[in-house]
Amino acid sequence: MSTNGYTCIRLVFCWINIIFWVSACVVLGIGLWLRIAHEGYATLLPQYAFLDVDALIIALGILAFIFSFLACCGSWYQSRCMLFTYFSMVLFIFVVEITLGALAYFFREDLKHTLSEELRIGILHHYNLTSTGMNTLADVWDDIQSKFGCCGVETYEDWYFIDAWPTARWVPDSCCLPAYYDYNCGKSRNTPIYLQGCYRQINNFFMKRLDLIGFIGIKIAVVQLYGLISSSLLLCTMKHRKLSNTYKSYS
């Protein structure tokens, strides 16, 4: 590789990662916006709250920020240590992304069934009217049922005999039709309520957010692939230059 070719790859690599750094800031901003706009929806799946989509997007933004910083500094100052750290971290993340994407695709039907079951478990064991704080599970279910005009996961009977009222066939007040809404209306058997479950609306909500992650992930993967190829070329050329004070040719 000639001096001009080496310099060209190094500068393009540096500028691509500057763009990547700006993109990381945008991704981080999207994650924070989702966190603020839809705060509390992770409580629908108490057992998997740590897998909150907002947190994953924020984590992607932070990782991309760190990677692009290492790449820019390593390329600009021709630091083999920084470039090797960048190459190793990006390679690991790239393999993890491909693996998780393949697993999500092949087990997508199982994921839908798991979502339905986990929503029921959340209602059965974690719904608590006496819980305090912002965006509790009760608050989120009230918001969903009022907004989408539905009740329960698959049917309103999902609310029967849950731990919050183990001996009663009650539903939350948010299940009552607007014209009949009143305090404790869900405890009356004569109050008209929504009969359709909320699973379809909740599933669409999560799928749209996962589609957003997939779109961002594909864009990041393309940049990562270029970064892996470019950083490996730069590493090999730097090593050859250090040993022989010449630039390695790949022709």
DSSP string across 203-215: HHHHHHHHHHHHH
Residue 249 belongs to some domain of the structure: no
Query: Which residue range forms the structural domain that includes residue 142?
Result: 110-199
Residue 250 belongs to some domain of the structure: no
Please give the model's pTM, rounded to 2 decimal places. Answer: 0.59
CATH number at residue 116: 1.10.1450
Residue 115 belongs to some domain of the structure: yes
| Cβ contact 197:106 at 8 Å | no
Q: Indicate the burial class of 216 (C-beta count within 10 angstroms; 0-12, 13-18, 19 or more).
A: buried
State residue 250's pLDDT score: 42
Number of domains in the chain: 2
Together in a domain, 186 and 213: no
Residue 173 belongs to some domain of the structure: yes
- Residues in CB range of 184: below 8 A, 6 or more apart: 173
- Which amino acid is located at 107 in the chain? F
Together in a domain, 167 and 226: no
Phi, psi of 176 (to 5 degrees): -70, 145
Q: Indicate the burial class of 133 (C-beta count within 10 angstroms; 0-12, 13-18, 19 or more).
A: exposed
Together in a domain, 166 and 137: yes
Together in a domain, 217 and 174: no
Residue 223 belongs to some domain of the structure: yes
Together in a domain, 99 and 213: yes
| Cβ contact 176:186 at 8 Å | yes
Together in a domain, 169 and 193: yes
Together in a domain, 95 and 214: yes
Q: Kindly give the parts of the chain with pLDDT less than 70.
A: 1-6, 34-35, 37-54, 104-105, 107-111, 129-134, 213, 216, 239-251
State residue 136's pLDDT score: 80
- Tokens of residue 187, six digits: 């405890």
Answer left, alpha or beta for residue 132, where phi above 0 means left and psi between -120 and 50 means alpha: beta
Together in a domain, 56 and 169: no
Residue entry with tokens 């500068």: 11
Together in a domain, 194 and 214: no
| Cβ contact 158:120 at 8 Å | yes
Residue 251 belongs to some domain of the structure: no
The stretches of 122-188 forming alpha helices (DSSP H) are 137-148
Together in a domain, 52 and 126: no
Together in a domain, 100 and 120: no
